Amino acid sequence: MKLCVIGTGYVGLVGAAVFADWGNEVIGVDIDEAKIKKIERGIMPIYEPGLSDLVLLNVKQKRLSFTTNLKKGIQGAEIVFICVGTPQSKSGSADLSQVWQVSENIGKFMTDKIYKVIVTKSTVPVGTNEKVKQILKKFAPKSAKFDVASNPEFLREGCSVKDMQKTERTVVGTETERAMKVMRKFYEHLNMPIVECDLRSSEMIKYASNAFLATKISFINEMAQLCEKAGADVVKVAEGMGLDSRIGSKFLNAGIGYGGACFPKDVSALRRTSLDFAYDFALLQGVMRVNDVQKHYFANKIYEEFGGENLSGLTFACLGLAFKGDTDDTRESVAIKIIHLLRGRGAQVRVYDPEAMENAKRELGTSSVFFAKDKYEVLKGADAMLILTEWGEFKDMDLTKVKKLLKKPLIFDGRNLLDKKVVEANGFKYLAIGRKTGSQKQKAPDFRAAIL
């Protein structure tokens, strides 16, 4: 099929490459000329395993090309995917200005006679596709034949190519059987059931999924705080809970809170949507509040350990800057937020991340942060080691070497990444999230206070 993919961010670029690899003829469109030129040369604007090879292969085989010319991009296309950004606006809702602008341009340039399905893949609130249709109708020539469809993506950064190639689910919302037939034809080779629904339900599925996963994380993070007070171990609690197939073990890793370009903005946008419909989705307020508190709970452990709020004269070795492992993305990274908190109290930081150093330099500046070349150099002379991102390579640190490099054998593990028994057996003081460690004293519960 002939396709046009508008936007070359995580969703658009990965989508364009994978759709071309499926044998389609794909044109990727972006307004950023420099970015397009780099992509054509195999220089990806994002770090995603397998992406560069897939792009180059499909460009070479002439199934994939890129342009800044939207008119050229949509000529002859049977499906046009809108994959532009929908960042958080000041009010907490999604900023849809790029979606509106692209819809207007698609309408203006829809001059050929080919029936098109205009598909929104960007994460957009309920009702957006109906407005996209209105805009298209307003700007398209009367002769243009088209329908709109909602087809949200569920890919995760760091494994988006794999997620797109072998999706667990496909959701398509349309208003017409004609559009649904085109979408069925596009996805039929995956041999997977498609959740076929109306536009609004499809839009809602995306937000409901992200909000639910964020709720799972906030639940286990709050559980971690309770476990710590009560002398239980949240890792064991999560393991026990996760074995119940109704609960599942995924997204039950307690940590410093969720970050990234999706969960924070999508939970906030869904809450805004609920208010727009005069419904107070109160649970989401709690999910956001817990997430906000979680980084302070972790930072407090550090303040307490060093006897107060003034951290001047201390140096921390921070392992991890990306919002999660396997990505270079530092957007809404809790690791960066924690570093700001520590520096705000006078601490010096040495930092290292396997992929996110360049992005972090933009956020942290380079004047008073030491950017180390590896996971050991970062430790030299630091008062403690902090694990802030769940990178696999931090799991198997050589603890003898770590001990030699640090001033004190002290580890704060914000992702519960290390094996506490091994760490403690190696003579470290180990402070983690919601875990009963040898270093933490539990207070006897004051039942009298609870009754009163």
Q: How many CB atoms lie within 10 A of CB 277?
A: 9
Q: Is 217 in the site for ligand UGA (CB under 6 A)?
A: yes
How deeply is 398 buried, as exposed, middle or buried, from its count of CB atoms within 10 A (0-12, 13-18, 19+)? exposed
Nearer to ligand UGA, 258 or 428 (CB): 258
For the chain, helix, strand, coil in percent to 5 are 45, 15, 40
- For ligand UGA, the closer of residues 263 and 428 by Cβ is 263
The answer to whether 137 touches 118, Cβ cutoff 8 Å, is: no
Q: C-alpha distances in angstroms, 334 versus 11, 89, 322, 383?
A: 23, 20, 8, 21
Catalytic residue selected from 83, 227, 262, 318: 262
Please work out the total of residues on this chain that contact ligand UGA, with binding judged by CB under 6 A: 21
| Residue closer to ligand UGA, measured from CB, 253 or 273 | 253
Our finding on whether 151 is near ligand UGA (CB under 6 A) is: no
| Chain residues 261-300 in contact with ligand UGA, contact rule CB under 6 A | 262-263
DSSP result, 407-447: SS-EEEETT--S-HHHHHHTT-EEE-SS---TT-PPPPP-H
Q: For residues 374-393, which are near ligand UGA according to CB under 6 A?
A: 390
Residue 96 Cβ vs ligand UGA, minimum distance, rounded to whole Å: 16
Say whether residue 156 binds ligand UGA (CB under 6 A): yes
Q: Can residue 125 be called a binding residue for ligand UGA (CB under 6 A)?
A: no
Burial of 448 (0-12, 13-18, 19+ CB in 10 A): exposed
Residue 318: active-site member: no
Q: Per rule CB under 6 A, is residue 123 in the interface with ligand UGA? A: yes
Closest to ligand UGA by CB, 117 vs 252, is: 252
DSSP 236-280: HHHHHHHTSTTT-STT---SS---SSSHHHHHHHHHHHHHHTT--
Min CB(390)–ligand UGA separation in Å: 6
Q: Which is nearer to ligand UGA, 266 or 383 (CB)?
A: 266
Place of tokens 């609870």: 450
Tell me how long the chain is: 452
Q: How many CB atoms lie within 10 A of CB 303?
A: 16
Q: Which is nearer to ligand UGA, 19 or 263 (CB)?
A: 263
Q: What is the DSSP string of 169-200?
A: -EEEEES-HHHHHHHHHHHGGG---EEEE-HH
Tell me the closest approach of the beta carbon of residue 334 to ligand UGA, in angstroms.
7
Q: Please give the Cα distance from 83 to 117 (Å, whole number).
A: 14
Smallest distance from ligand UGA to CB 295, Å = 11
Q: Annotate each residue in 225-264 with x if it binds ligand UGA (CB under 6 A) or - if it does not, as one string.
A: --------------------------xxx-x--xxx-xx-
CA–CA distance, 62 with 400 (Å, rounded to integer): 53
Q: Please, what is the minimum distance in Å from the beta carbon of residue 308 to ligand UGA?
A: 28
When the beta carbons of 258 and 316 are compared against ligand UGA, the nearer one is 258
The CB-of-146 to ligand UGA minimum distance in angstroms stands at 26
- CB count, 10 Å around CB of 384? 24
Q: Which stretch binds ligand UGA (CB under 6 A): 64-72, 153-161, 182-190, 370-378?
A: 153-161
C-beta closer to ligand UGA: residue 263 or 394: 263
CB of 156 to ligand UGA, least distance (A): 4
Between 306 and 335, how does the x/- string for binding to ligand UGA read (CB under 6 A)? -----------------xx-----------
Q: Which two tokens stand for residue 380?
A: 């030299």
CA angle (274 as vertex; 271, 276 as ends), nearest 5? 110
Return the residue of 157, 233, 353, 413 that touches ligand UGA, per CB under 6 A: 157
**How many Cβ atoms are within 10 Å of 60's Cβ, its own excluded?**
9
- Binds ligand UGA (CB under 6 A): choice among 8, 105, 174, 210: 210
Q: Where does this chain bind ligand UGA (CB under 6 A)?
A: 123, 153-157, 210, 213, 217, 251-253, 255, 258-260, 262-263, 323-324, 390
**Residues labelled catalytic:** 262
